[in-house]
Structure 1
Amino acid sequence: MNKSQLEILEAAADCFANYGADAVSIDDIARHLHATKGRIYHHFRSKSELLCAVRMRSVSLMFDQIAPIVDSIDDPLEAMKKMAFTHVQLILGHHSFHRVVSEDFRVFFNRSTTPDERRQIQEIIDKRTAYENLFREVLRKGMKSGVFAERPISLTVHSLITLLNSPSIWYSPRPNQTQDDRDVIARDLAQMALGALGVKDA
């Protein structure tokens, strides 16, 4: 993805997150970007395609950062600590993208009927499932070794990710907020998540 496409996605994510996908038009995104509609249509054929790209960008950012942690850290507790912390960092650092993903997109996409739109939606679902499977892998290992409490895997994964995703709803970026400030939020929330897994003094 080139610089121009990323700039368009960032502008679209801001608009979708602030006003809702249904209320936002390509004209709105172009004004936010201080560009013409033609620049957007050069890269994205429709608002639906643009919204799909924003959602895929959000999930891909997560997957690309978390997958190497799973591959490189064998200890399930240490892996989960870093996964939870990194997940929240990404939520805070790319808030608009993840705010869009946190909202239920089925209502918007129920109007999508073209094969290409259905393909894009399925790609997002598949990527999100692959991301959840990274957590499943570490949770299974941790439950087997006794590090985490034995609980149904799917229930645990969905509850854990919902907790880690919560800043997408309540967090509001502030101009004077530093990376250290965001790291404190990420550490605290990661510790809460580990506590929910049955880890004491995480």
Structure 2
Amino acid sequence: MGRNKYPEQTQEKIVEASIKLFIEKGYEQTTIQDILDALNLSKGGLYHHFKSKEEILEAVKQKRAQYAADMLHDLIDNTKAANAKEKLKKILYQWGASTQTHSFDTILSSQSNNPHFVMGALQNAVNQDAPIISKLIEEGVKDGSIQTTEPALCAEIFLLLLNFWTSPVLFKRNLDETKKRLSYLQSLMCLLGLDIIDNEFIENIAGSYDKTGMF
């Protein structure tokens, strides 16, 4: 890669090449030299942007968070449904079926034992994603399709349980154990007045985990 007078473009190319390598080889097996070879970049050119492979991984995590947020906003703007509850169900189904999101998750699964990394993901779920879901729940309360008294708290609980408690990566669970917890989450959300999980969603999300080799 020749000298690029736009540093942000070079940085983006480093992240994109690293994502591809992390998916193909795994994060631990990918070396800095692999990244340099993929880009025809010098060590100085890479270290100008990232001091270590760990910093590149942090950039990947940030890119995943931004991708998820952008995708969620796009789905909200473009998904049509009879009411807010049906719209939220459609959005969650498409969100869960995203191969790009699960590709990111395959990379980040290598950091499941890293407390700092997991804490950052928890904070993103509560501070970034939950308020978006909460607005949809509020719309459902207004149109009568959702019956819950605390939309904001309900959104936080839902995302924390869905993204972390049911995760086969964080707790080293198999397919059956994961589906059992997704089914229990379905029952729990019904009790909270947010019955947006159906059997099709459970099969979809479990299948996505299976396809990306998380079991």
Interval of TM-score (by shorter of Structure 1 and Structure 2): 0.5 to 0.7
How much does 1:32 deviate? 3.3
The residue number in structure 1 matching 2:207 is none
Q: Distance in 2 between matches of 1:95 and 1:46?
A: 24
TM-score calculated relative to the size of structure 2: 0.54
1:59 deviates by 0.8
Deviation at 1:82, TM superposition (A): 4.9
C-alpha contact (below 8 Å) 1:66/1:86 kept by paired residues: no
Identical pairs, percent: 22
Aligned residue in 1 for 2:107? 100
Q: TM-score, normalised by structure 1?
A: 0.56
Is 1:46 equivalent to 2:46 in the alignment? no
Letter in 2 for 1:84: L
Structure 2: unaligned runs, 5 residues or longer: 1-6, 169-185, 187-194, 202-215
**Higher RCO, 1 vs 2 (CA within 8 Å, ≥6 residues apart):** 1
Residue 88 of structure 2 aligns with an amino acid whose one-letter code is M
Give the match for residue 12 of structure 2.
6
Please say if residues 85 and 140 of structure 2, whose CA atoms lie closer than 8 Å, have aligned partners that are also in contact.
yes
The 1:150/1:18 distance shift into structure 2, 3 A limit, reads farther
Compared with structure 1, are the counterparts of its residues 142 and 101 closer, same or farther at alpha carbon in structure 2 (3 Å cutoff)? farther
Match of 1:132 in 2: 130
Instruction: Count the aligned residue pairs.
Output: 166
1:55-134 alignment runs, 5 A limit: 55-67=61-73, 69-70=75-76, 75-88=83-96, 91-93=98-100, 96-107=103-114, 122=120, 126-128=123-125, 129-134=127-132
Where does residue 145 of structure 2 map in the other structure?
Answer: 147
Map Cα deviations across residues 119-149 of structure 1 (whole Å, 9 max, x no partner). Answer: xx85x65444312332243235436755357
What is the root-mean-square deviation in Å for CA atoms of aligned residues?
Answer: 4.5
Which consecutive unaligned segments of at least 5 residues does structure 1 have? 111-120, 167-192
